[in-house]
A and B are shown apart, each in its own frame.
Chain A
Amino acid sequence: MSNLTLVQAINLALTQEMEADDRVIILGEDVGLNGGVFRVTEGLQQRFGEDRVVDSPLAESGIMGSAIGLAIAGMRPIPEIQFEGFLGPAYDQLVNHAGRYRTRSRGSVTVPMTVRVPVGGGIHAPELHSDSPEAIYAHHPGLKVVMPASPFDAKGLLISAIRDPDPVVFFEPKRLYRAFREEVPEDEYTIPIGQGKIVEEGSDLTVVTWGAPVLQCLEAMDSLPDDLSVELIDLRTIYPYDADLIVESVKKTGRCVIVHEAPKTCGFGAEIATMIQERCFLHLQAPIQRVTGFDTVMPYYKLELEYLPEAARITQGITACAAY
């Protein structure tokens, strides 16, 4: 066991999987010599060489498309897109090819790759360095979408993703990269993709979230009256997501608040709310509430904390839902 940040836990998982399987290679902008702009791949090129940790030309479509080819032909590529805002040029490759080859070829051509992407706001970054596009990729069939919120989960989920037979988009919340440390076992372990986690148990209201807002939800819960018992679920995987865990919780509490950084309209919260009313309509005691980013472009950083679902706004949402 050692006490690791999110960055270190991901680095450890990458190191161990590269050690264990020489089909695993990393490609992306500045991932080699520089160890990635967040230093997530620090030291890997020195250790595994330039053939396995590749500084690619500056081209996201090129990175994604050639990773697809690598995966098809027997490698286990881990392409990195430097920031979520630059998934744009790679979108066609990811959605129209990675997510479709298995279907298109009736299972004869597959794309086992893990696309690593730093995601989300809260770090004072420039434009297109703070967005939360997870719902877009969850919407496209054929892609799995993962977003861990802790070092322990990140290691286990990343190893699962790398070993997964299908393409996985692995979102890493930048705001959490160095936010806290956690005990992470040295040995390899996996956390199944698709499994959520109860961060705190409670009986009066369920909060569902993922990524960096897990921390803001905990902060909000600290400020609530003692007699309001809130259950906090970290979804961990956005697609396929753990609907059973949410249903079980909402059946118990009758109330649900969903929190995410992405804009409200068509955010992944919309899918969860619909699923809840489909599966436990008669258990609901209040309308499901969403505390999310606004339906606007993510603002430049002077206003980013006003945009993001911070603790105060989450508290308001929880309080309103609980009082209904």
Chain B
Amino acid sequence: MPIEVAYEAKIERLSILDQNGKLDEKLAKDTLTDKQVVQLYEHFSTCRHYDEVAFKLQRSGRMGTYPQNMGQEAAGAVALAAQKQDWMIPCYRENAALFLHGLPKENILLHWMGDERGNEIPDDVNMLPISIPIGTHMLHAAGIAWAMKLRGEKGVAFTFFGDGATSEGDFHEAMNFAGALNVPVVFICQNNGWAISTARSKQTASETFAQKALAYGIKTMQVDGNDIFAVYKAARDARKRAVKEHKPFFIETLTYRLGDHTTADDARRYRDADELESWKKKDPLIRMRKYLESKDLWNQSKQKKLEAKAKEDVSAIVKRAEGIEKPTIDDIFDYTFKELPIETRRQRDTLHTHSLGQFPEQETLQQTAAPAHA
């Protein structure tokens, strides 16, 4: 018996708009319209400003820890490929996509201000709250997609996670379930090169993250994650296929975290300044602007207007987030169950956990018992 090739594979990388704003017209055909590019540019610029303001809020003690999204805005193009009925199952570095899919912008600020009202999802939006335990929520996407398939709904579950998240066991179980059960999930791995201080090279010996999907029978590709055309096209095609064939898809976006991991982090401790500088040149916003200017769709005066508008919008968002009254203590209890167990209700009503005062008969007993002891 000869030795046969049992399996062979390659990973394709899609890139349409390069860092100089030059578009590959052929690949860009039937993707984003001029209007959509302008819309995304305006949206991402506003998100960038939002990020800067959030950073300042944390520094001035008005907000807790915040993870900047700066540099990764292009992932938001996924939301343009999504339909209203699709689900977003996010991590915390895709604000732009969540806002486009219908999350009120103050919610993210509220979340990081330690306010659970930031996690309330509007009734008509299919989305889960930001997921804090890394690498665990993609299984929920598999389950949601499975339910959509069972219920005959024509939607997909988009789930976002980082390069670090692929090291968690749950990531592999999510991929295996999605592949084995044939459910319409689109996995979006935002490979930004770092998981806090852990470089991508220490995370895995795998050449790409995209190839991990192959092991689970899932179609997969890499895209330039700072290129809205590539991100959009990959997400749109993945969606089409997911809906039609009930098949999962995996997209690795090559991007970079331009900021610290969070406001609690200082990336200078572990990251090369040159690396950061080289990625600043690949900023998704810079190339979008160059592209729009080259097509005469953008100019200095539009930019000025946009900046003023972003300022105004974000300051109104901050006002809404900060203007909300402090949650009442009942909030701690009321969402634990639909109906509170009696002990929890007792704690809520007395606001203490010690039993004296919670059971009047304890005191009565003492009064009757007291003389006998005396």
A129 CA to B134 CA in the complex, in Å? 12
- Given A33-B270, A34-B196, A287 contacting B168 (CB threshold 8 A): no
Q: Are B203 and A58 in contact (CB under 8 A)?
A: yes
What is the 8 Å Cβ interface bit string for chain A, positions 235-277, against chain B (1 contact, 0 not)? Answer: 0000000000000000000000100000011000000000000
Contact B332 A58 (CB under 8 A): no
| A292 with B353, Cβ < 8 A, contacts A55-B198, A58-B164, A303-B327 known | yes
Q: How far is the CB of B360 from chain A (nearest CB, A)?
A: 13
Complex Cα distance A34/B271, Å?
A: 10
Is there an interface contact between B354 and A57, defined as CB atoms closer than 8 Å? no
Partner among B65, B326, B329 whose Cβ is within 8 Å of the Cβ of A125 = B65
Q: Report B's interface with A, CB cutoff 8 A.
A: 64-65, 111-116, 132-136, 164-165, 167-170, 195-198, 202-204, 264-265, 269-270, 326-327, 329, 331-333, 336, 341, 343-344, 347-348, 351-357, 362, 366
Contact B64 A264 (CB under 8 A): no
Partner of B65, one of A126, A264, A304, A320: A126
Chain A residues lying within 8 Å of B353, measured Cβ to Cβ, are: 264, 290-294, 309, 313, 317
- For A106, the chain B residues whose CB sits under 8 A away are none
Chain B residues whose CB sits within 8 angstroms of the CB of A321 once the complex forms: 354, 356
Instruction: Give the residue of A59, A85, A295 whose beta carbon is less than 8 angstroms from that of B133.
Output: A85
Which of B111, B165, B169 counts the most A-chain CB atoms under 10 A from its CB?
A: B169
Interface membership of A179, Cβ < 8 A: no
- Name A's B-contacting residues (CB within 8 A): 29-30, 32-35, 37, 55-62, 85-86, 88-89, 124-129, 257, 264-265, 286-287, 289-297, 299-304, 306-307, 309, 313, 316-317, 320-321, 324
Complex interface: chain A residues within 8 A of B170 (CB): 89
Of A124, A128, A265, A309, which one neighbours B343 at CB under 8 angstroms? A265
B113 touching A302, Cβ below 8 Å: yes
**Contact (Cβ within 8 A) B354 A317:** yes
For the complex of A and B, the 3 pairs showing the least CB-CB separation, nearest first, are A301-B114, A34-B197, A57-B167
**Within the assembled complex, what's the spacing in Å between the Cα atoms of A300 and B112?**
9
Q: Nearest Cβ in chain B — how far from A301, in angstroms?
A: 3
Q: Pick the contact of B347 from A287, A295, A300 — CB < 8 Å?
A: A295
Classify the interface of chain B: helix, strand, loop or mixed. Answer: loop
The 8 Å CB contact of A58, one of B167, B264, B331, B356, is: B167
Contact A324/B343 with A30-B197, A58-B165, A126-B65 known, Cβ cut-off 8 Å: no
Cβ–Cβ contact A257 & B167, under 8 A: no
**Are A302 and B114 in contact (CB-based, < 8 A)?**
yes
Indicate if the CB atoms of B115 and A287 lie closer than 8 Å.
no
Given known pairs A58-B135, A300-B115, A317-B354, the reply for A324 and B366 (CB within 8 Å) is yes
Q: A125-B65, A300-B115 are in contact. Are A57 and B202 (CB under 8 A)?
A: yes
A149 to B263, CA, bound (A): 27
Q: Is the CB of B196 within 8 A of A320?
A: no
Q: How far is the CA of A128 from the CA of B136 in the complex (A)?
A: 13
What are 9 contact pairs spanning A and B, CB under 8 A?
Answer: A128-B133, A286-B356, A289-B356, A292-B353, A295-B336, A295-B343, A306-B329, A313-B353, A321-B356
A321→B329 CA distance, assembly (Å):
25
Question: B198, B202, B341, B353: which has the most chain A beta carbons within 10 Å?
Answer: B353
Given contact pairs A33-B270, A58-B195, A89-B136, A299 touches B356 in the complex (Cβ within 8 A) = no
A295/B355 contact (C-beta < 8 A), A34-B270, A124-B114 known: no
- Contact check, A294 vs B114: say whether CB atoms are below 8 A apart: no
Minimum distance in angstroms from B350 CB to a CB of chain A: 10
CA–CA, A144 and B31, complex, Å: 59
Partner of B332, one of A88, A129, A289, A303: A303
Q: Are B204 and A57 closer than 8 Å at their CB atoms?
A: yes
Q: What is the bound-complex CA distance between A62 and B135, given in angstroms?
A: 13
CB distance from B294 to the nearest CB of A (A): 40
CA distance A296 to B340 in the complex (A): 10
Q: Which residue of A lies closest to B341 (CB)?
A: A295
Could you say which of A35, A55, A324 has the most chain B C-beta atoms within 10 Å of its C-beta?
A55
Cα(A92)–Cα(B332), bound, Å: 29
A300 touches B114 (CB 8 A): yes
Residues of B within 8 A of A289 (CB): 354-356
In the complex the two chains form, is A287's CB within 8 Å of B197's CB?
no
A313–B196 touching, CB < 8 Å: no
Question: Which residues on A sit within 8 Å (CB–CB) of B113?
Answer: 302
Q: A303-B331, A317-B352, A317-B354 given as contacts; is B136 within 8 A of A296 (CB)?
A: no
Partner of A306, one of B65, B168, B332, B341: B332
Judge whether A89 and B332 touch: CB under 8 Å: no
Which A-chain residue is minimally distant from B112 (CB atoms)? A126
Task: Report whether B326 and A88 are in contact in the complex, using a CB–CB cutoff of 8 Å.
Answer: no
With A30-B196, A125-B64 in contact, do A313 and B132 touch (Cβ < 8 Å)? no
Q: Find the residue from A33, A34, A300 having the highest chain B CB count within 10 A.
A: A300
